[in-house]
Structure 1
């Protein structure tokens, strides 16, 4: 694979025509064009002193060799990430060869090279986590110090949108894997935040409208939207990787760019992307050091945007807005309590009107985030029965974690309320236990709650169980036995 990357076989340099003859005689120019492949192409490896580099008009590369280099980059990245420590003896030499491909004439090879560089970083991070020596840590930081600035520079200067999309996606994966290690260099947070900002503002070379003339405006707009989505996806990943107070100045610059896409005049895709990204940023602030303080300060700016979103005509925009409101309540913590009455009113109105199943699932999740964060600020006797009445969740299985963690907490906080709702909770649990779409941790939490019902409130529990079909009874029995 390294030989495939080193090889210049199949690459041909084309010598620029003498401009004097072009100016004097168009016919000569035509003749020369037809003979270009025969007379004026030179082997890239041949050293001919009369052919200066500035005389070379361009290069052509045979498809088979392009494919070979692209495949070699892809394979090296995958092997490094899959084999971890076993790849260490080959990491440096592989990286050097792949790094050389970042300027290769063909875009597919460049894209594959950037992808492999990201995989090398993730592989080294994995090696360090498994064997946290100082040597492994320094190797990771050294790699990141080369790769991330390379990504940032090429997002700005690369002409091909597809390559830039690949770089942004790879950079997101590196940040997601390496988290705070990606930001050990003091300049890194600013550099990455600013390049995300530049993509959102359409200030990079590939967004200047000077690309392939064959691209119609519709395709260019589609590519620009995709580019901005890849850039936007990086914001919550950065928010989850650094202390919130450090990221706050950059977040203040980025949020208006997202909020400008939430207006009713924007496309559905833009509205969905922007409110979804805002929700993910708030979700990241839940666990980021200093996150609640930053989320609390942002609340006045974001609340109107998200409330407007829950009234959108498009279900996906409503869904993302509901998710964002729940995350805002969770991230802001005690600071957000003053907004609870208004948010509960919005959710109450939605529950009576909403027909989209995914939106209803996320309404349940948002209510549970509010309860779990500030249980005393929610009128439980009204909210919890309405919440349980929407179970089981139909579409968004990930929200089961939020819902059943909340119900388990409520069983400790307000056992009488939960026991009154035992029958619908038990019925809903049969759709979660043993469901491979629900994570194991959530299933364990739910199984423990059901076991509590069975052990300490056996009569009510048996009554709830016997009202179920036989198959669901068997599911419960198996879950209790296993827990």
Structure 2
């Protein structure tokens, strides 16, 4: 039947549909006789679920019950149970809207959670691969798939109804399963959990971390690690409670010889993810944390603890940045002991992590690491000579990429060798094994090698020729470590092209060809990275032409060919791609290319309508990776990754407003506006509301004066969204209101009084500092655009009293531009505030502001000195450093 399925067309649908219940009955009868054969027979359902012709559609509910029945039967072998649970995953991910229509979520959650709570016969600490083959452990993957593909509003309440009492169960396995279920749901439902359930769940996790049973502590710690990774930034607010608990757990490991590997792994994972995202909040704990980690590296006899401690230092560096410098000498001294070539498993893992951490240090410490970057480069080139382990090679590629951020064109003597290493990795067939119909034949697969792309002409088309010798390939095995190596090699290739500039010029064409070949690779991570890499290579080529006039003649034809292939391939790829994560990366790449290259990136498409239509289709859920088979009225709730996909496409809208002629864009945007407005309903998710209002605001910013055409439709929604319960929605609405007030022309001026009152009321009530910063920015925009309509005697003190801004630092530019504008007009309202403004500027200059803001600040100080030098006499003279900073801004004639 599987073979017949390949030739089924619409005229045979009914006959084939009628066979499905009979197939189920045959397999049910086969199970008591031969479970292995029954498991093999279930392969038919994989093809039925994937089939574009809706053969299985009328039987989805029946099939779900069948799969869940097998998966729940403890008397059956794990092979058969896991196969059925895997089919459940396929149905959930491919037919999610049908599941919603049938209201099948409660049944699924109850059934799968019961399986997860079963006693696991394999609780060995270090053999996780075997554990994954049991039904109870595979059940966590089913819950993960549900979290990723089902609307959180429909899924999470049913899950928590089971997990909350289970966390207090007397049964150890049930308590552990509850924390595990919450952990694996966090990625897919992060916004829902962060906004509605985080505080309550954290209290339960704290309790679980102190549970007398190791299995429960382990699952609770895993949940904390997932919270730390996916519930930012809110989870960081609990650092005072969480870090002492984590320190306590880690200290126990130091004095226990019986600690299990999983306890170590998950506790360090939680510490690492939490510290990685703390930012400056980590500073009070930095001495204690670094002392512990450095002592663990130096004194522990466990290679695992050394490895995880070094990894935790990399995470800490991401937050601490230059504050890590006092600990650097001792750290580097310790790391050097792990850099000698080795093939022993334990020391090799430590070495790989050491090189990864050196790469992070190069990236985070930047100029402070200048003198050590060349040493790191030499180290990598030395180690790569004899590196046979794919993880070691991967880490070295990452180190090369990090070094290119610092060394840039000075890497030129080594770029050729590094390029060849990276490209050879992309071409390599290591880790790829084909299984043929003849089960005795196993061959290394070479069907991914393809030299058919030609970039020499004005067109650059990708053609894949498949040899008939591969027609009998039954399956392909891809070893993860080798795939990870390819991912890192391709990522490094893109970074090297961007960072080493002219030194990479002669390698652009071959790099692009090899990366393009991998856009159809049978591994999602490689496809994602290939999509990003081809975009980076196009951007690097364009920047090189702009940077070096001599390059224009030699590279302009190549750039046109690259853009043609890149844009066409990415558009085709995103329409046909089944994985949302890959599609999101494609949109990120399209965004980067259009942002960098501008109109030429769109011109190679022949018509900008290709991109317009793509964005429309994503918002309307028409892509292959979107399950858009249900009526719109029933389709308001989405999985968070589905929303993220729409957001990634929506990011193109303001970008297109910037690069497309206004008449073309306005036609497109007018058609898109109703789709965006639908997402602002009260019943819409926070993510939808935030995305819609943010996209509208950014688009109005790019439209400039043409924003006046949309005032009547957008002004009411901006005002109402300013009162939203969610901080991010309010923030985006306040920003959008300021932009509309600045760009709305005569159509908005009649609303100034109402806007000012709304912003004033919001300032009094607002507790989120980012929103406060944006209120200051909105008021500043109104001052710059129509200061005569603003009561400056009230508004200026309000803004100045909230300076410097604390969260949205970009709005400093808007605020000080408005002050400079008032001073240029010699508006009397600004004059009494100049001494206080100068003090604020002097303090801001200490923070090393970005170049654009620094120039605005210094020019403003210079302008005041040139025209009102007496103002400086009113600046407090007790702070000599502040006075000197202000004086340094002054340009003497």
Structure-2 change in CA distance of 1:110 and 1:417 (3 Å): same
Distance (whole Å) between structure 2 residues aligned to residue 248 and residue 209 of structure 1? 27
**CA-to-aligned-CA distance 1:85-107 (integer Å, 9 cap, x gap):** 22222222222222111111111
Distance (whole Å) between structure 2 residues aligned to residue 83 and residue 57 of structure 1? 43
CA apart distance, 1:399: 0.9
Number of residue-to-residue matches in the alignment: 441
Distance (whole Å) between structure 2 residues aligned to residue 285 and residue 396 of structure 1? 22
CA apart distance, 1:383: 3.0
Task: Select between 438-447 and 242-251 the one with higher mean Cα deviation.
Answer: 438-447
Structure-2 change in CA distance of 1:363 and 1:9 (3 Å): closer
Structure 1 length normalisation: TM-score?
0.83
Checking the alignment, whether the CA contact within 8 Å between 2:862 and 2:889 is kept in structure 1 is: no
**CA-to-aligned-CA distance 1:81-133 (integer Å, 9 cap, x gap):** 22222222222222222211111111122122112111110111111111343
Checking the alignment, whether the CA contact within 8 Å between 1:310 and 1:321 is kept in structure 2 is: yes
Among 478, 481, 496, the alignment partner of 1:79 is 496
Task: Select between 273-282 and 144-153 the one with higher mean Cα deviation.
Answer: 273-282
User: Is 1:384 the counterpart of 2:792 in the alignment?
Assistant: no
Equivalent position SS for 1:328: helix
The within-5 A match list for 1:257-296 is 257-286=675-704, 292-293=705-706, 295-296=707-708
- In structure 1, the partner of 2:807 is 395
Checking the alignment, whether the CA contact within 8 Å between 1:454 and 1:462 is kept in structure 2 is: no
Output the aligned Cα RMSD.
2.7
Structure-2 change in CA distance of 1:134 and 1:465 (3 Å): same
- In structure 1, the partner of 2:515 is 98
Distance (whole Å) between structure 2 residues aligned to residue 63 and residue 79 of structure 1? 24
Distance (whole Å) between structure 2 residues aligned to residue 121 and residue 314 of structure 1? 39
Distance (whole Å) between structure 1 residues aligned to residue 845 and residue 646 of structure 2? 39
The within-5 A match list for 1:90-129 is 90-129=507-546
Structure-2 change in CA distance of 1:93 and 1:387 (3 Å): closer
Checking the alignment, whether the CA contact within 8 Å between 1:333 and 1:374 is kept in structure 2 is: no
CA apart distance, 1:260: 1.7
- In structure 2, the partner of 1:68 is 485
- In structure 1, the partner of 2:189 is none
User: Is 1:417 the counterpart of 2:829 in the alignment?
Assistant: yes
Equivalent position SS for 2:475: strand
CA apart distance, 1:53: 4.4
Task: Give the gaps of 5 or more residues in structure 2.
Answer: 1-421, 448-466, 630-636
Task: Select between 440-449 and 78-87 the one with higher mean Cα deviation.
Answer: 440-449
User: Is 1:243 the counterpart of 2:654 in the alignment?
Assistant: no
CA apart distance, 1:432: 1.9
Among 556, 566, 582, the alignment partner of 1:137 is 556
CA apart distance, 1:135: 4.5
CA apart distance, 1:65: 3.4
Among 151, 171, 194, the alignment partner of 2:613 is 194
Among 673, 678, 684, the alignment partner of 1:255 is 673
Checking the alignment, whether the CA contact within 8 Å between 2:568 and 2:605 is kept in structure 1 is: no
User: Is 1:475 the counterpart of 2:887 in the alignment?
Assistant: no
Distance (whole Å) between structure 1 residues aligned to residue 657 and residue 582 of structure 2? 25
CA apart distance, 1:335: 4.5
Distance (whole Å) between structure 1 residues aligned to residue 760 and residue 431 of structure 2? 67
Equivalent position SS for 1:207: coil
Distance (whole Å) between structure 1 residues aligned to residue 762 and residue 444 of structure 2? 69
**CA-to-aligned-CA distance 1:52-100 (integer Å, 9 cap, x gap):** 6443333223334323332332222222222222222222222222211
- In structure 1, the partner of 2:860 is 449
Distance (whole Å) between structure 2 residues aligned to residue 365 and residue 168 of structure 1? 30
User: Is 1:465 the counterpart of 2:866 in the alignment?
Assistant: no
**CA-to-aligned-CA distance 1:163-203 (integer Å, 9 cap, x gap):** 11111111111111112221223634211222222222222
Task: Select between 352-361 and 228-237 the one with higher mean Cα deviation.
Answer: 352-361
User: Is 1:234 the counterpart of 2:652 in the alignment?
Assistant: yes
Task: Give the gaps of 5 or more residues in structure 1.
Answer: 18-35, 211-218, 287-291
Checking the alignment, whether the CA contact within 8 Å between 2:509 and 2:558 is kept in structure 1 is: no
Structure 2 length normalisation: TM-score?
0.47
Equivalent position SS for 2:588: helix
Checking the alignment, whether the CA contact within 8 Å between 2:842 and 2:886 is kept in structure 1 is: no
Task: Select between 150-159 and 375-384 the one with higher mean Cα deviation.
Answer: 375-384
Equivalent position SS for 1:417: coil
Distance (whole Å) between structure 1 residues aligned to residue 511 and residue 851 of structure 2? 38
Checking the alignment, whether the CA contact within 8 Å between 1:306 and 1:325 is kept in structure 2 is: yes
Structure-2 change in CA distance of 1:209 and 1:196 (3 Å): closer
CA apart distance, 1:254: 2.4
Among 813, 825, 847, the alignment partner of 1:435 is 847
User: Is 1:3 the counterpart of 2:424 in the alignment?
Assistant: yes
